[in-house]
């Protein structure tokens, strides 16, 4: 503070300046705190915490524009619309499998190019994986869900979906009237199966990957790659 300033004026201004400093410092700390909150919340991945539904409830929330792909007929129709015709798996694999990696690479790049403008690529789809309730999460009031892919044989080959951005923490929250009975069944070691409905859209690039099964030489695999937009858990009857 300037030495020539009168003492009375210094005594008046000093508390004002100090108070202003702390108000600005406090505001900065609070601003930083609230900016950090969304990042922490996003890391918790809330998209995997969903209610446990009955089959009828699940059917009622499905959009009319969503294609449910859970059987060979629906999958074959879907793949016909996107890629036209199945690959010639025998020709791609060859007599002994030699060089099939290069032929697969060529097939995938060509199919990516041809489907570039097809509308079916952007349609919303729902596929089902097998699931099972496991340990109870008291904090969230639901059960952790263990899941695994379905393999569906079709005229195109064996179809196995590949989800992108799948939530890491999968928890199914049952209705209150079922909670206690489900907890008891889980404690008794009984299996409680659920269907895990995964809804999303094919990736813009590399929408479908063609490959061969690792445990069955020459068996063609078709793997639609879906960016996950929604998860639903359906209690099996």
Output the tens digit of pLDDT for each of the chain's 237 residues: 444 544 444 444 444 444 544 444 433 333 333 333 233 333 334 489 999 999 999 999 998 889 999 999 999 999 998 999 999 999 999 988 888 899 999 999 999 988 876 655 667 999 999 999 999 999 999 999 999 999 999 999 999 999 998 998 999 999 999 999 999 999 999 999 999 999 999 998 889 999 999 889 899 999 999 999 999 999 997
Q: What is the pTM of this model?
A: 0.77
Question: In angstroms, rounded to a whole number, what is the distance separating the alpha carbons of residues 18 and 3?
Answer: 18
Question: In angstroms, rounded to a whole number, what is the distance separating the alpha carbons of residues 131 and 196?
Answer: 6
Locate all alpha helices (DSSP H) within 84-189, ordered by sequence. 89-93, 100-114, 176-187
Torsion of CA 78, 79, 81, 87, to 10 degrees: -170
Residues forming a β-bridge with 228 = 200
* Model pLDDT, residue 205: 82
Give domain limits for the chain: 1-43, 46-235
124 C-beta neighbours (distance < 10 Å), count: 16
**Chain position carrying tokens 């003492």:** 7
* Model pLDDT, residue 10: 46
* Model pLDDT, residue 206: 85
């Amino acid at each position: 503070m300037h030495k020539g300033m009168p003492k009375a004026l210094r005594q008046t201004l000093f508390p004002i300046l100090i108070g202003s400093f702390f108000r600005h410092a406090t505001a900065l700390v609070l601003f930083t705190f609230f900016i950090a909150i969304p990042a922490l919340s996003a890391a918790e991945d809330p998209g995997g915490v969903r209610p446990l539904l009955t089959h009828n409830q699940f059917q009622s929330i499905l959009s009319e524009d969503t294609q449910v792909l859970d059987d060979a007929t629906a999958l074959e129709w879907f793949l016909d619309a996107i890629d036209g015709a199945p690959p010639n798996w025998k020709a791609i694999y060859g007599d002994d499998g030699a060089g099939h990696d290069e032929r697969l690479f060529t097939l995938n790049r060509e199919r990516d190019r041809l489907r570039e403008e097809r509308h079916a690529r952007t349609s919303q789809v729902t596929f089902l994986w097998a699931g099972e309730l496991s340990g109870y999460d008291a904090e969230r009031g639901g059960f952790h869900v263990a899941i695994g892919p379905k393999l569906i044989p079709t005229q195109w080959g064996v179809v196995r979906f590949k989800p992108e951005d799948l939530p890491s923490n999968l928890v199914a929250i049952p209705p209150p009237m079922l909670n206690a009975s489900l907890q008891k069944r889980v404690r008794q070691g009984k299996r409680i199966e659920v269907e895990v409905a995964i809804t999303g859209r094919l990736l813009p690039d590399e929408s479908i990957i063609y490959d061969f099964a690792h445990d069955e030489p020459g068996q063609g695999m078709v793997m639609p790659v879906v960016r996950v937009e929604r998860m639903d858990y359906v209690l099996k009857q």
